[in-house]
Amino acid sequence: MRGTFRSVSGREAAALTGMHAAWLPDEAFRPLGSRHTVVYGQGLLVATVLDEMAIAGARHGGTVRHGGSGRDGTADGADLVLAVASGSTAGSGDPEGFALARRDGVTTLVADAPAGLLYGLYHLVRLGEAAFGPDRPMEHHRPALRRRMLDHWDNVAVHPVMGQVERGYAGGSLFWRDGAARGDMARLRAYARLLACVGVNAVAVNNVNVHATEAHLLTDRLGEVAAIAEILRQYGIGVHLSVSFAAPMTVGGLATADPLDETVRDWWSQATREVYRVIPDFGGYLVKADSEGQPGPFGYGRSHADGANLLADALAPFGGTVRWRAFVYNHRQDWRDRSTDRARAAYEHFAPLDGQFRDNVILQVKYGPVDFQVREPVSPVIAALPHTRVAVEIQATQEYTGQQQHACYLGPLWSEVLRFRPWGTDGIAVADIVAGGGLATVANAGADDFWTGHPLAQANLYAAGRLAWAPDADPLSILDEWIEMTFTPAGTSDPDRLRRVLHAVLDESWLTYEQYTAPLGVGFMVRPGHPYGPDVDGYEYTPWGTYHFADRDGIGVDRTRATGTGYTGQYPQPWADVYESPDRCPDELLLFFHHVPYGHVLHSGTTVIQHIYDTHFAGAERAAEMRRQWSLVADLVEADLHIRVRERLDEQVRSAEEWRDQINSYFYRKSGVPDAGGRRIP
């Protein structure tokens, strides 16, 4: 029995659309595709599993049989059994989980629900032949985070400044093109399949900055959203829409968007009812309100709880969720005003509202208090609302981490965030706090032939999904998985060299990027607007609230309670005191929390100024070494992929040298302190 659609394999997707396969190349299915498989269960996602297996079987010589809706207990000559068995004791108790065992030459995967079967299938693909070796005792798998979301900042109409995708570095949008739906369903299906493979179960299809055209997706252009939902549904992914708080006025023609106004409440109820009529499994709304020019409840003297609850009430009858972003701050700050601290803003706005949000509100918080910098402390907001569901937001699109020109594997950064324990070593971790709210990742894929512009940036998309499923996973093991699933090294003439080089390029690439850009957690120092490349004072006298305060004596932002902005007081103990003290504050965050003289000695034993010189020389050298490493695998990967990465590494090396020289020169000129190593500072 087959579904009414046919899924596409990696190679087919590439042939259909001219795109390169990402992870899940056909070869990855050989271990499964060469087996005799019986599948039990019914429903859309079971049909997807059957399709995957049928294609793999046809390619690799195996067979697949649909055993019907219920498992009758026998494997019937099969060596792989994939079964949905509701209420089964073998199940995991989670509709997305599965149990796996191998006995007497039969590998059996049992899920409570079809979604678990699909995730189990991709788990088997990752295991490869290991799933068919010696007996395996029963293992249970389930996602640690319930909601594993990708937020696309895609515009429908090309925005005059931000383009088709805001902060998009991967070609156009997979969903939209020049004001219309892109309509490339084969590509969309291939994308959905990649996402399901890493466990993503929710996608927002438009930018949180909702412009005029995009506002209509909620109403008269809902059909275009439904067409996307139709594809994503086949891979267990629920569609979400970013909506404008002003929609009742801009698309509804009302005179107000006041959340306490009855006509406004009715408007949202009606609009939402229509959404669910057209898309019954619609996920919910994502809202950026009162932030960077977006409308919100403040305009009516109402709170963000009033605003979020308005939408939550409209969604509740249908089981939908409103994701309300905590990214609210004054972007028209006077740089002369030392009492305002952008880092404090989200906590000040939201912590007092704890307990006031409806159950179907998720407060979506950026991982750091400022804005997706290469190094920030974990946002204190995550720990400040015990009675509110909280999600943490990370940025796969590399706005501040090299814009997919630079190789920068962010798995280790995100892993640190998810493992951070706001109440110290005995307390729970961020991953525990967000178990219900989940992880939301600003997406980095687009219409680019390699999906992500920089082919190695695929690793970030992969890791975002896998870390949401298993926040404790080692990010370097995730990288191993991605390498195996993408490059099938075993199929090349020198698997070890290929693996070694990919690790040499990516393992420490996040720390390398940190080394040659803004030092010790101080952030920014980028060109205003597009924020790429160095500009030490680029944001220093702007209204954006992102300052470093360097003068001839020292650098850094005093965020202490004793003498600074008081931001350290937003943390529970022990961090409130650890960050308060320049002696206890971790080196890598020193300048985020403290203004110190250039001669301040770090725990590492070196002075701040010497650290700046050393890391910038080292970072640029490491970028050059990444490029050298990559040159060693020209014979092991597709030629055009090799060239694309090489071109990007050329740019990374150039840019890293530019960063090195601008930062080093700037601080040498400010401080007058020479480099102890006597190296050339222009």
Which residue number, 155 or 515, has a Cβ lying nearer to ligand GCW? 155
Catalytic residue of the set 27, 166, 214, 371:
371
Which residue number, 228 or 326, has a Cβ lying nearer to ligand GCW? 326
One of 26, 214, 290, 371 touching ligand GCW (CB under 6 A): 371
Extended beta strands in 86-135, E state? 98-103, 106-111
597 bridge partner residues: 554
List own/partner pairs for 525-531 with CB under 8 A and 24 or more apart. Answer: 525/663, 526/400, 531/399, 531/400
Furthest-apart CA pair in the chain: how many Å? 80
Distances (CA, A) of 528 to 325, 339, 539, 542: 23, 23, 6, 9
Sites for ligand GCW among residues 385-404 (CB under 6 A): 399
Sites for ligand GCW among residues 153-192 (CB under 6 A): 153, 166-167
362 bridge partner residues: 323, 389
Which residue number, 203 or 612, has a Cβ lying nearer to ligand GCW? 203
Residue 544 engages ligand GCW in binding (rule: CB under 6 A): no
Which residue number, 209 or 415, has a Cβ lying nearer to ligand GCW? 209
Catalytic residue of the set 112, 399, 514, 558:
399
Which residue number, 207 or 360, has a Cβ lying nearer to ligand GCW? 207
Residue 242 engages ligand GCW in binding (rule: CB under 6 A): no
* C-alpha dihedral (208, 211, 216, 222), degrees to nearest 10: -30
Q: State in angstroms the smallest separation of the CB of 400 from ligand GCW.
A: 7
SS3 readout for 235-300: CCCEEEEECCCCHHHHCCCCCCCCCCCHHHHHHHHHHHHHHHHHCCCCCEEEECCCCCCCCCHHHH
Q: How many of the other CB atoms lie within 10 Å of CB of 589? A: 17
Sites for ligand GCW among residues 402-421 (CB under 6 A): none
Q: State in angstroms the smallest separation of the CB of 289 from ligand GCW.
A: 11
Q: State in angstroms the smallest separation of the CB of 292 from ligand GCW.
A: 6
Q: DSSP class of residue 353?
A: G
- Catalytic, 399? Answer yes
Q: How many of the other CB atoms lie within 10 Å of CB of 535? A: 16
Sites for ligand GCW among residues 47-106 (CB under 6 A): none
Residue 327 engages ligand GCW in binding (rule: CB under 6 A): yes
Q: State in angstroms the smallest separation of the CB of 531 from ligand GCW.
A: 7
One of 124, 208, 343, 461 touching ligand GCW (CB under 6 A): 208
52 bridge partner residues: none
Residue nearest to ligand GCW (CB): 371
Which residue number, 83 or 443, has a Cβ lying nearer to ligand GCW? 443
Sites for ligand GCW among residues 474-493 (CB under 6 A): none
Measured distance CA(3)–CA(11) in Å, rounded: 21
Q: State in angstroms the smallest separation of the CB of 382 from ligand GCW.
A: 16
19: which 2 tokens?
């795109």
360: exposed, middle or buried (Cβ count in 10 Å: 0-12, 13-18, 19+): buried
Total residues belonging to the chain: 682
Q: State in angstroms the smallest separation of the CB of 213 from ligand GCW.
A: 16
- Catalytic, 371? Answer yes
Q: Is 40 left (phi over 0), alpha (psi -120 to 50) or beta?
A: beta
Residue 209 engages ligand GCW in binding (rule: CB under 6 A): yes
Measured distance CA(14)–CA(449) in Å, rounded: 9
Measured distance CA(669)–CA(141) in Å, rounded: 56
Q: State in angstroms the smallest separation of the CB of 662 from ligand GCW.
A: 21
- Catalytic, 494? Answer no
Catalytic residue of the set 129, 135, 292, 537:
292
Total residues interacting with ligand GCW, rule: CB under 6 A: 11
Q: State in angstroms the smallest separation of the CB of 589 from ligand GCW.
A: 20
594: which 2 tokens?
């403290």
639: which 2 tokens?
């030629």
Which residue number, 327 or 593, has a Cβ lying nearer to ligand GCW? 327
Which residue number, 546 or 655, has a Cβ lying nearer to ligand GCW? 546
Closest C-alpha among 56, 14, 63 to residue 35? 63
Which residue number, 208 or 663, has a Cβ lying nearer to ligand GCW? 208
Residue 288 engages ligand GCW in binding (rule: CB under 6 A): yes
Q: State in angstroms the smallest separation of the CB of 457 from ligand GCW.
A: 17
Under DSSP, is residue 177 helix (H, G, I), strand (E, B) or coil?
A: strand
What residue ranges bind ligand GCW (CB under 6 A)? 153, 166-167, 208-209, 288, 292, 327, 371-372, 399
Catalytic residues, by residue number, are 292, 371, 399
